[in-house]
Structure 1
């Protein structure tokens, strides 16, 4: 290794290699493991989205209570977040303060599959999605980061050619050879 130059030594004095800010991410790792998120970028996007939702809600709260724009924008925001499944009810704007990255993670396709009992764990659900066993409506979904809204939740099913679907139908004794041929 070469000897460091003067300005390089000065710069290195200001950097602490022992404790990084990024290393304090225990919560991030915990959430990523719980919802089986493979890409860190997905988690950072969810975090950024939740921050935007909270700041927008705070800006709406700062408007005058009598302002018709405030009521209209409040209703639009609550409707959008409720339909996406991010908040549980459309009661009031204070629910937006509780939106976090986990709120978005709960709407990922593998987590919804676990909720619908199509898979036992998020890890197996991710594997099913990546292998092409799952469709939402008529569309085959191969991305585990696909966000499922409340309306689409009813249309999460196995693909017609999926071996898992055939196995489930055999177990339930509802297999029809004509459909699976």
Structure 2
């Protein structure tokens, strides 16, 4: 017969995953998961793997002969892709790819962009708004907080037309037009 666990023991057991306990020792991973409020650890591992692949690809491009036309073309394509994704600040040189990390991908997630655009005060409320269907990117309503926003679609992040939050913001700013709210 086993004794009943005390409150603090139950709380500790909730935090420990006995299946993947050897993976839980990564303190940096836990910090990133908490900072960007990532619920699925698989998302972080995907971002980590992608960033590692990007750095490896950049290293392979760097290893090519400098006079080779393929090197210049592939460098331009890689930098263009990373810049349009929002993972690097400029398209200047290949050394910027060394700074692409899992956190770079996390900063392109929709909740982070919503906070950056000041549509929400913090990541928790941004995630709530997204999951409840208040935010759209272009014409599409996005309910997945893991949605990655590119530079070109960043300008089209806005409230859904029928959102009560949008109505509240417009009322507060005294910009509400009753004709726009009719559906």
TM-score range, shorter chain: 0.7 to 0.9
Residue 24 of structure 2 aligns to a residue whose secondary structure is coil
> In the alignment, which residue of structure 1 is the partner of 2:171?
170
1:1-40 superposed matches below 5 A: 21-40=22-41
Q: What is aligned with 1:58?
A: 59
> Partner residue of 1:85?
86
1:102 and 2:111 aligned:
no
1:150 maps to which residue? Answer: 151
Structure 2 unmatched ranges of 5 or more: 1-17
TM-score by length of 2: 0.87
Which deviations, in whole Å up to 9, do the C-alpha atoms of 1:62-113 show, x marking residues without a partner? 0000000000000000000000000011110011011100000000000001
Q: How many residues align?
A: 163
Larger radius of gyration: 1
Q: Give 2:135's aligned residue.
A: 134
Instruction: Give me the whole-angstrom Cα distance separating, in 1, the residues matched to 2:159 and 2:26.
Output: 36
Normalising by structure 1, report the TM-score.
Answer: 0.88
The separation in 2 between residues aligned to 1:147 and 1:26, in whole angstroms, is: 24
Displacement of 1:21 = 3.9
Alpha-carbon distance in structure 2 between the residues aligned to 1:180 and 1:63: 58
* 3-state SS in 1 of match to 2:158: strand
Secondary structure class of the residue paired with 1:135 = strand
Gaps of 5+ in 1: 1-16
